[in-house]
């Protein structure tokens, strides 16, 4: 093998190893949080499908984490589902788990600007459920893309948003440091809790999303258990 081919081979292997390690790290959080998502929504964990890929080593790690967390979701080895934002999916809904850094107490989202200069997740309305794990507060908050887009585009209609919302730090928007086409939106979690049920009742058109979010949007996570789990998983 030539030096050039060797360099190419080892570079490719390094990328594969880095991707595998990142996948393992994110999968730990996703599988730990599945029982909380299940409890909050009233949907059995076995009714969710995990978006994995076709590598045997990833599926083996998935099996290990299922055992550790006492869950039994289905497994899909089509990586396109994961790339589309589906950590889990259920009846046409994508559930994307996002873990906030411990310094953030609010939910953070990544959006794009479309040709009309409106912020969007580039997903069908209310088919994309973001599960934000806020480690600082120990809360897991579920929200639909439709509500987030209404808020950041200041199209709140009759929703009970606080009068000072757009004039305080309840909404912070800034350019993503890694991806120039992405804008980060950090939204006050107390406002989101107040808005989600009215949104689901009056503006959500997706019956499966309505059902999934009908029992509420937030649940407390056992942070002591989480920290012990992360050390051992």
Beta carbons of 181 and 126 less than 8 angstroms apart: no
Predicted local distance difference test score (pLDDT) of residue 82: 73
- Sheet architecture: strand order including 128-134: 74-76, 49-51, 88-90, 93-100, 128-134, 139-144, 218-220
The mean pLDDT of 91-120, rounded to a whole number, is 90
Residue 106 has pLDDT above 60, yes or no: yes
Beta-carbon contacts of 103 under 8 Å, excluding residues fewer than 6 positions away, are 136
The pTM of this model reads 0.86
The mean pLDDT of 48-64, rounded to a whole number, is 87
The mean pLDDT of 34-40, rounded to a whole number, is 96
pLDDT band at 152, cuts 50/70/90? very high
Predicted local distance difference test score (pLDDT) of residue 1: 61
Q: Which of 4-8, 150-154, 163-167 has the lowest mean pLDDT?
A: 4-8
Q: How far is CA 160 from each of CA 19, 124, 186, 198, rounded to the nearest angstrom?
A: 42, 24, 18, 8
Per-residue buried b or exposed e for 127-154, using 16+ beta carbons within 10 Å of the residue's own CB: bbbbbbbbbebebbbbbbbbbbbbbbee
Q: What is the pLDDT of residues 14-26, one digit of tens each?
A: 444 444 455 566 7
H or E element: which one contains 57? helix 56-69
177-185 contacts, C-beta under 8 A, 24 or more apart: 181/112, 181/113, 182/110, 182/111, 182/112, 183/110, 183/111, 183/112, 183/113, 183/119, 184/108, 184/109, 184/110, 184/111, 185/108, 185/109, 185/110, 185/111, 185/119, 185/148, 185/151, 185/152
Predicted local distance difference test score (pLDDT) of residue 96: 94
Helices (runs of H) and strands (runs of E) counted in the chain: 7, 11
The mean pLDDT of 149-160, rounded to a whole number, is 93
Residue 7 has pLDDT above 80, yes or no: no
Collapsing DSSP to helix, strand or coil, 84 comes out as coil
Residue 4 has pLDDT above 60, yes or no: no
């Amino acid at each position: 093998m030539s030096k050039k081919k060797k360099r190419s081979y080892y570079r490719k292997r390094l990328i594969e190893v880095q991707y595998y390690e990142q996948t393992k790290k994110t999968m730990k959080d996703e599988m730990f949080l599945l029982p909380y998502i299940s409890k909050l929504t009233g949907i059995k964990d076995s009714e969710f499908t995990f978006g994995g890929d076709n590598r045997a080593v990833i599926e083996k790690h998935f099996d290990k984490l299922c055992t550790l967390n006492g869950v039994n979701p289905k497994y899909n080895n089509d990586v396109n589902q994961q790339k589309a934002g589906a950590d889990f999916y259920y009846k046409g809904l994508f559930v994307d788990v996002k873990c906030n850094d411990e310094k953030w107490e609010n939910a953070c989202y990544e959006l794009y600007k479309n040709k009309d200069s409106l912020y969007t997740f580039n997903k069908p309305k209310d088919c994309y459920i973001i599960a934000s794990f806020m480690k600082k507060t120990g809360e897991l908050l579920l929200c639909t893309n439709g509500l987030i887009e209404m808020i950041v585009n200041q199209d709140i209609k009759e929703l009970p948003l606080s009068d000072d919302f757009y004039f305080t730090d309840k909404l912070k928007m800034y350019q993503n440091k890694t991806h120039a086409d992405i804008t980060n939106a950090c939204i006050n979690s107390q406002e989101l809790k107040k808005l989600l049920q009215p949104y689901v009742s009056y503006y959500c058109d997706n019956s499966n999303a309505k059902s999934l979010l009908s029992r509420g949007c937030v649940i407390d996570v056992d942070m002591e258990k989480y920290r012990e789990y992360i050390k051992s998983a």
